[in-house]
Chain A
């Protein structure tokens, strides 16, 4: 589904990714762990197409397309979802309006018919319930006044509504208490654990991986993947730290 080959990227002319390669197949859950400043978030932003993150080498194929040639909104329509570490507040625009417009823009790009207001609300209600979020919260402006945990939960509701092929979740576990962590973990499993979908979890800690079992764990350090293993690698990292393992 996603093939990253020798990816190099800079932020403000500073090299961050230095030859990163990674392949994710449909049906797989991958976790990327690594110390601060290793380039984890940069990887997410580069794949999402954030302005200011410049690719200086390598290639990325996503679902048969050259991902790097697409605009950010085209990447979303192609099925890429990026869960933000710090979801953005948008005053005056309700979640319902924002997500319906977003979903219908994606559907239009895929030559699918738009969802009516009623159809959309039914979908939103179903996905909100899955993440145990009150649908009333989706009538409020996007992320405005939400706690850190609520924002992360709202990210997962958005993922459920938009139904991506690949979700890249950047520190979705940060800011969550134990109960919220379980709900979010269950939500990721319910929405994304499917033969035709895949997940890339970017995280510092092992704890989310108790709920979302990864098939592969990678250690990112110095802008490259320095080690790959199974779920046991996460436990090893937790016990011995990055320096000992990577």
Chain B
């Protein structure tokens, strides 16, 4: 994963990356995390700063262990959080990510989850909001190795565009080499429901407030199982305020 040469957009995982912002930060040191057997661990990544952020995380989740990762990717410059997870037998990997981009920046979550052994579970929930000329990406690959029967993987990816000039790319990808596998993915890119906005306005909510309520509910889905979910959501809402 630590390629010394600067990737190009021909590399699938960098297809929508902001190469100009990436170049000075390359090569990026890979942060390695290794859980013990049956260990449960959580990690929260919050990016709300002004500087570009590029992180590469490689996590090994051995048999019976469970790793929960929550991401708030809402910085004012390029923000890229890439995660590669290796799952042992019966291991669990949970990702809940919220991304917000309001200016011209690109934010992205890039994952590769490898089910190396039977009965591992991976759950990925990514909610993105993009306004103005911003771009929000999710590229997620789930690889089920030969013999990893009983794999249960899911990817739920939704993006909300607040302006017609904003962009969202969602690319869930499955590579399955086992037989008995359950892998679900859902992707949707849309706008706020105009009917709901009128309904809310008719009850007295000004448009900014109505949008905030709907987007808050949308983003909250990324933090449902986070211990610090309320605090994360508050930070997400604070970032949202600057976009509305």
Residues of A in contact with B (beta carbons under 8 Å apart)? 48-51, 71-73, 75-77, 81-82, 84, 87-93, 97-99, 101-103, 105-106, 109, 141, 158, 162
CA distance A72 to B203 in the complex (A): 9
The 8 Å CB contact of B195, one of A72, A81, A88, A109, is: A88
Contact B200 A98 (CB under 8 A): yes
CA distance A126 to B156 in the complex (A): 40
> Chain A's nearest CB lies how many Å from the CB of B230?
14
- Chain B residues near A90 (CB, 8 Å)? 196, 199-200, 213-214, 217
CA distance A101 to B207 in the complex (A): 12
Number of interchain pairs (Cβ within 8 Å): 77
- CB within 8 Å for A106 and B204 given contacts A50-B198, A84-B199, A88-B199: yes
8 A-B pairs whose Cβ atoms sit less than 8 Å apart in the complex: A48-B198, A76-B203, A84-B202, A87-B199, A88-B195, A88-B199, A93-B216, A105-B209
For the A-B complex with A81-B202, A158-B203 known, give 10 more contacts whose Cβ atoms are closer than 8 Å.
Answer: A51-B194, A72-B198, A73-B205, A76-B203, A88-B196, A90-B213, A93-B213, A98-B213, A102-B205, A106-B204
Residue ID in chain B nearest A161 by CB atoms: B203
Contact B214 A102 (CB under 8 A): no
- CB within 8 Å for A76 and B202 given contacts A97-B213, A98-B213: yes
Interface residue? B206 (CB, 8 A): yes
Interface residue? B231 (CB, 8 A): no
Interface residue? B221 (CB, 8 A): yes
- Chain B residues near A84 (CB, 8 Å)? 199, 202
Interface residue? B218 (CB, 8 A): yes
> Chain B's nearest CB lies how many Å from the CB of A63?
15
